[in-house]
């Protein structure tokens, strides 16, 4: 999971992009970068760290221009290093320059890289963004394709999830994989500046009013002549004839104030909470407590449907990153202790319905339950707003080893015992589907193992 942004038309494109990247910082906290074109040169700056640490006023002054592509990174393909940080830039001395940032993961990375290397294309990183930009540059420079043709070839050859922003010195392009696995939304602000981002909350921050999703297998070109929505590549689109939106974007990844795949994220979460409550008829408890933040709206829905009062008994320190997206287990463990605390004298003697969005490895929730028990809770009934995660994701989420997943290692009863709760229930798959307007248009592979694209 990463966040991308593209800006066209604003003389302070770098500043605008940095603001937008800050709004999607939750999508990646290891590193970030910006490529900015002034029409003659594409300037690049990237570094490990958070947007507000990396893009200081001094740094932004070194990035003049009216076109920007930016990225916040959560490592999936390639380690957490500066080399693997996006955007990636291809520069030629007297010819064109290109920069690209992408969100997703490619399932035939190795094959495409081997093919390009055989054509004397060289790589500086293990990152899929570099593969995408070098593929395009190779098609344009070596094969004499124009940019749109090159993107269409990319869509034919490269398989996986990719929501991409790509710029030349004078143009911005946005394009998206035929299955539209990761979200991507664009629009214009009142000044006519074009903004594209992973989530609509970025467009809100940048005062973009009208907005649309980038179509499946679609290409949008922005230059001095305006915006050209080239639309989806019909041959490509017809091949699969449906989307595979990542359902986890609604469950966990996206901000609740975002809108994508035709849904308000917060409403899907509220519906999930209601469904959890319907599965729980007759359960007596004193309060419903969410694990903040992604389960907040699920707890709101649960409370509304059950009549059990909602209480914000757990407090989250917002200056610590998301625990799930920290790459090392040791760092994850340390983060959990620093991230959550209980309200003083709140849990003593209470029967608690604790709502969380998912169980991946089970490390975070076990520590939280221990905290609540130490605070004196009499009973804890854990409700999970997704089905059990039994399979790894190959489309942008770093769960490479199935053996790391709690539901793959233990039975429901064993997980309940290990976490230390009185009862444990997951949302069932049918209920999850009922929370979505177009349930057949989603990927659920981490729950059912039915991958829309097999790893090659």
Span of 68-76, 344-352, 362-370, 441-449 interacting with ligand SF4 by CB under 6 A: 441-449
Q: How far is the CB of 362 from ligand SF4 (least distance, A)?
A: 17
Question: Bridge partners of 99?
Answer: 89, 167
Minimum gap (Å) between residue 46 Cβ and ligand SF4? 26
What residues contact residue 58 under an 8 Å CB cut-off, 6+ apart? none
| Least separation in angstroms between CB 441 and ligand SF4 | 12
Contact between 72 and ligand SF4 by CB under 6 A: the answer reads no
- For 194-314, where are the alpha helices, taking DSSP H only? 200-205, 234-240, 248, 265-278, 296-306
Kindly report the number of other CB atoms within 10 A of residue 307's CB atom.
Answer: 8
Least distance to ligand SF4 from the beta carbon of 252, Å? 9
Residue 365 touching ligand SF4 (CB under 6 A)? no
Backbone angles phi, psi at 292, to 5 degrees: -70, 150
In the set 135, 297, 347, 444, which binds ligand SF4 (CB under 6 A)? 444
Distances in Å between the alpha carbon of 323 and those of 26, 396, 424?
A: 11, 17, 22
Stretch that binds ligand SF4, among 41-49, 408-416, 418-426, 444-452 (CB under 6 A): 444-452
Distance between CA atoms of residues 401 and 392, nearest Å: 7
- Based on the shown chain and the rule CB under 6 A, indicate whether residue 16 belongs to the binding site for ligand SF4: no
| Cα–Cα distance for residue pair 234/306, rounded to 1 Å | 47
262 vs 309, which CB is nearer to ligand SF4? 262
- The answer to whether residue 2 is catalytic is yes
Residues numbered 137 to 196 that lie near ligand SF4 (CB under 6 A) are 181
Minimal distance, residue 357 CB to ligand SF4, in Å: 12
For position 310 contacting ligand SF4 by CB under 6 A, the verdict is no
**Which stretch in 116-124, 334-342, 390-398, 408-416 sits in contact with ligand SF4 by CB under 6 A?**
390-398
Signed CA dihedral, 203, 204, 205, 208: sign only: positive
% helix / strand / coil in the chain, to the nearest 5? 35, 25, 40
The piece of 43-51, 71-79, 418-426, 440-448 that touches ligand SF4 (CB under 6 A) is: 440-448
Would you put residue 226 in left (φ > 0), alpha (ψ -120 to 50) or beta? left
Which residues in the 242-281 window bind ligand SF4 by CB under 6 A?
246-248
Residue ranges that bind ligand SF4, judged by CB under 6 A: 181, 246-248, 393, 395, 397, 443-446
Which residue numbers are catalytic? 2
């Amino acid at each position: 999971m990463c966040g991308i942004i593209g800006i066209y038309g604003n003389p302070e494109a770098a500043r605008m992009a940095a603001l937008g990247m800050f709004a999607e910082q939750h999508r990646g906290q290891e590193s970030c970068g910006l490529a900015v074109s002034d029409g003659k040169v594409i300037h690049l700056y990237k570094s490990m760290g958070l947007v507000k640490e990396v893009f200081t006023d001094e740094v932004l002054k070194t990035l003049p221009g009216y076109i920007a592509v930016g990225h916040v990174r959560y490592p999936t393909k390639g380690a957490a290093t500066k080399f693997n940080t996006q955007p990636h830039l291809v520069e030629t001395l007297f010819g064109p320059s290109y920069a690209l940032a992408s969100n997703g993961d490619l399932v035939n990375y190795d094959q495409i890289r081997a093919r390009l290397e055989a054509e004397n294309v060289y790589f500086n990183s293990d990152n899929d963004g570099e593969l995408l930009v070098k593929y395009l540059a190779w098609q344009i420079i070596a094969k004499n394709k124009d940019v749109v043709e090159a993107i269409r070839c990319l869509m034919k050859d490269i398989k996986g999830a990719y929501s991409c922003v790509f710029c030349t010195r004078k143009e911005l392009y946005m394009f998206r994989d035929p299955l539209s696995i990761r979200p991507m939304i664009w629009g214009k602000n009142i000044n006519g500046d074009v903004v594209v981002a992973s989530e609509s909350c970025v467009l809100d921050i940048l005062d973009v009013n009208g907005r649309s999703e980038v179509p499946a297998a679609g290409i949008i070109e922005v230059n001095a002549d305006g915006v050209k929505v080239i639309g989806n590549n019909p041959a490509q689109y017809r091949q699969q004839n449906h989307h595979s939106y990542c359902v986890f974007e609604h469950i966990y990844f996206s901000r609740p104030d975002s809108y994508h795949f035709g849904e308000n994220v917060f409403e899907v979460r509220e519906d999930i909470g209601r469904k959890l409550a319907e599965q729980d008829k007759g359960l007596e408890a004193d309060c419903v407590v969410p694990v903040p933040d992604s389960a907040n709206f699920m707890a709101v829905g649960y409370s509304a449907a059950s009549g059990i009062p909602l209480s914000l008994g757990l407090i989250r320190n917002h200056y610590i990153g998301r625990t799930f997206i920290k790459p090392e287990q040791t760092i994850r463990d340390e983060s959990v202790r620093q991230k959550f605390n209980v309200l003083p004298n709140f849990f003593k003697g209470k029967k608690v319905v604790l709502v969380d969005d998912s169980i991946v490895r089970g490390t975070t929730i076990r520590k939280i339950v221990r905290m609540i028990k130490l605070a004196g809770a009499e009973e804890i009934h854990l409700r999970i707003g997704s089905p059990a995660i039994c399979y790894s994701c190959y489309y942008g989420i770093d769960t490479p080893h199935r053996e790391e997943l709690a539901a793959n290692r233990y039975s429901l009863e064993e997980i309940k015992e290990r976490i230390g709760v009185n009862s444990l229930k997951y949302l069932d798959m049918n209920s999850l589907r009922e929370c979505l307007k177009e349930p057949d248009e989603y990927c659920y592979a981490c729950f059912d193992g039915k991958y829309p694209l097999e790893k090659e």
